[in-house]
Amino acid sequence: MKLIHMTDPHLVAPPAELMSLDGRDRLARAVASVNTAHADAELCVITGDLAHWAEPGAYASLKVILSDLNVPWHLLIGNHDTREALGDAFPDLPWSPDGFLHYALDVSAGRFLVLDTLDPGKPSGRLCEARLRWLRDQLTRSLADKLDVYLFLHHAPMDVGIHGADAIKLANGADLAACLRGFHHVKHLFMGHLHRSCHGSWRGIPFSTVKATAHQVALILDDATPLTASTEDPAYAVCLIGADGVVIHDHSYLEEDRVIKYERGAPAGRDIPEHQKGWSR
């Protein structure tokens, strides 16, 4: 299946901009890019921090922009969001009876489990006992149903080497790891929050995140620098999930006009190098 992974729009109420960037335009251009190049995607997941200050006007803008997306979309909650404001703007989201935005999606690749890592009033995240119980139950059910599981969460449960980001990660990542232990059908973790392309493995589980459609976080790898923003171009991820694994392409959609002809043939005035004569493409 083809999945579109977007993250961290950080919208503000119009006509304001954030850090001199027009987040509404950047998200709208991502939507337009998906509609043009990847409308065959099964769905799009946006992994939190939908609004920067949880303003009603920001969520209203989000709703208008996403109404143009020709792919079914699903939202996560991030630390910049509030359950109250997001619930007012999107009452039809699959809110749980206890007020969390966590839910399961059955897709052609298996089952997506969407987590709610919001710890109100804090930039870091947390999975409380109730949310961990819900996850454990969902993992047990999916195992019985013989479905591969892909997890979606806003906060990274691991350190990534960026001091400012590591300070606001999922505070109880060890509890999440304990919850996942023994469930070998968990195939991948998709995350937001980091505002960077970052891929690897954690406790044996592959993970990935992608640049925000808003601002980025500067790649400063030390143990002291506070969180620092960057005006690097945004991206979304095109994820191809198959029986053999997950392939992820980070697409810098504001750079789509930079396609150039690939140089083939031979150096000027010379023959094709011997080792390339048999190349057909």
SS3 of the chain: the string is CEEEEECCCCECCCCCCECCECHHHHHHHHHHHHHHHCCCCCEEEECCCCECCCCHHHHHHHHHHHCCCCCCEEECCCCCCCHHHHHHHCCCCCCCCCCCCCEEEEECCEEEEECCCECCCCCCECCCHHHHHHHHHHHHHHHHCCCCEEEEECCCCCCCCCHHHHCCCECCHHHHHHHHCCCCCEEEEEECCCCCCEEEEECCEEEEECCCCCCEECCCCCCCCCCCEECCCCCEEEEEEECCEEEEEEECHHHHHHCCCCCCCCCCCCCCCHHHCCCCC
Residue 281 inside a domain? The answer is no
**Within-domain flag for 148:** yes
Q: Is residue 272 part of a domain?
A: no
Among 109, 110, 87, which residue's Cα sits nearest to residue 98? 87
**pLDDT class of 269 with cuts at 50, 70, 90:** confident
**pLDDT(178) > 70:** yes
pLDDT-derived band at 281, boundaries 50, 70, 90: low
Encode pLDDT of 183-238 as tens digits.
Answer: 999 999 999 999 999 999 999 999 999 999 999 999 999 999 999 999 999 999 99
Which candidate, 158, 242, 163, places its Cα nearest to that of 203? 158
Q: Which amino acid is at 265?
A: G
Tokens of 195: 């505002």
Burial 189-200 (b: 16+ CB within 10 A, else e): bbbbbbbbbbee
CATH number at residue 45: 3.60.21.10
* Residue numbers of the domain that contains 86: 2-256
- What letter represents residue 141's amino acid? R
Q: Is residue 276 part of a domain?
A: no
Is 271 within a domain? no
| Number of domains present in the structure of the chain | 1
Residue 12 falls within a domain, yes or no? Answer: yes
Quote the percentage of the chain above a pLDDT of 70. Answer: 100
Q: Is the pLDDT of residue 119 over 80?
A: yes
Instruction: State how far the Cα of 172 lies from the Cα of 25, in Å rounded to an integer.
Output: 35
Alpha carbons 69 and 63: distance in angstroms, whole number:
10
Tell me whether residue 199 is in a domain. Answer: yes
Query: Within a domain: residue 109?
Result: yes
